[in-house]
Each structure stands twice: as C-alpha cells, then as structure tokens.
Amino acid sequence: MPKSEINENNITEKTDSKESNLDTEKNDKLLNASAEKAIEQYRKLREGSNTELTEKQITEIEKECEIIRNREIITQDKEHNPVEIITKNGEIITGPPTLTRFEKARIMGARALQLSLGAPVFIEIPKNATTSLEIAMEELNQRVIPIVIRRTLPNSDYQNIPIDKFQ
C-alpha cells in the first residue's frame, strides 16, 4: 500500500512539472509574439509613407529592430523598498518649494485641534485672534510649528521636510 501512494505522488509531481513546462512554453511564445508585434509596429512607424528607402535607412531600421528583439522582457515588477530622499543643503526635491494649499489646510487643522485641546502656544497670541484656527494660521505664517511634511513619490520614495524649509 505505501508503494502505491508513493507512485501516485510521483505521477502527480510529474504531471505538475509537465503542466508548468507547458505554461512556460506558452508564456515564451506569447512574449515572442508580442515582441514581434512591437517590431512590426516600429517598422511601420519608421517607414511611414516612404515607399522608397535608402540602403542606409533600411540598415538603420534593421539595427533598431534587432535591439528591440534582444531587449530583456520584464514579466514581473521587482519589489521596491521605499527610501528617504536626503539632500545635503536641506533643499526640497519633491514637489514645489512652497507649501501646497492641502498641506496648509492639514497643518492648520491639526494645530488648531491641538490648541483647542490645551496644547501650548508657540507665539505671543495676537490681539485680534479669537479662535484656535487664527492662532494656528499665525503660527504657520511664522513657521514655528514643529511639524515635518512627508512628500511621497509614486514609487514610495519620500522626503521629510521641516516646515521652516518652505518659502
């Protein structure tokens, strides 16, 4: 009885490996076909409406087609670990050098909430300020709020920018 179980497992493993080989072959054929379609499109684009091409143009197109044919085809995205962007001078690389309206709104809202819950004020309270939001706006204008803005790029890399670095 144990021998038949082992044989059945071996048969299953062999079948699985055959299926994976077939899948790999299908993928290879599909990738080669898509590369050939890309080359065909490239030829149409380069040749355009020119009915007569010089030998030099034809060889140039052939060289480019060969380069396309030999390119590595990427079938999976490589995992990217987010990295903090650090500059020597503390200059702002990601985004505009000024606070965006969304960043201002977020900072003022968060700081106004802190002030309304009893956080200490970093400036002398102006005589015309009646709400915590007005105090937060004045603190933002003077750039004394200890908040750091994190600006993120589409690939998840980010830059942490202290509020006093903005114009």
Q: Where are the domains of the chain?
A: 2-70, 101-165
* CA–CA dist 145, 137 (Å, integer): 10
Supply the pLDDT for residue 4: 47
pLDDT tens sequence across 31-62: 778 888 888 888 888 887 766 778 888 888 88
Centroid of chain to Cα 137 = 33
Residues 148-165: tens digit of each pLDDT: 999 999 989 999 999 988
Q: Write the DSSP symbol of residue 155.
A: T
Q: Which of 71-80, 134-143, 144-153 has the lowest mean pLDDT?
A: 71-80
Is the Cβ–Cβ distance between 42 and 64 less than 8 Å?
yes
Over 70: is that where the pLDDT of 95 sits? Answer: yes
| Length of the chain counted residue by residue | 167
Topology of domain 101-165 in CATH is Eukaryotic RPB6 RNA polymerase subunit (3.90.940)
pTM: 0.54
Residue 68 is predicted with a pLDDT of: 83
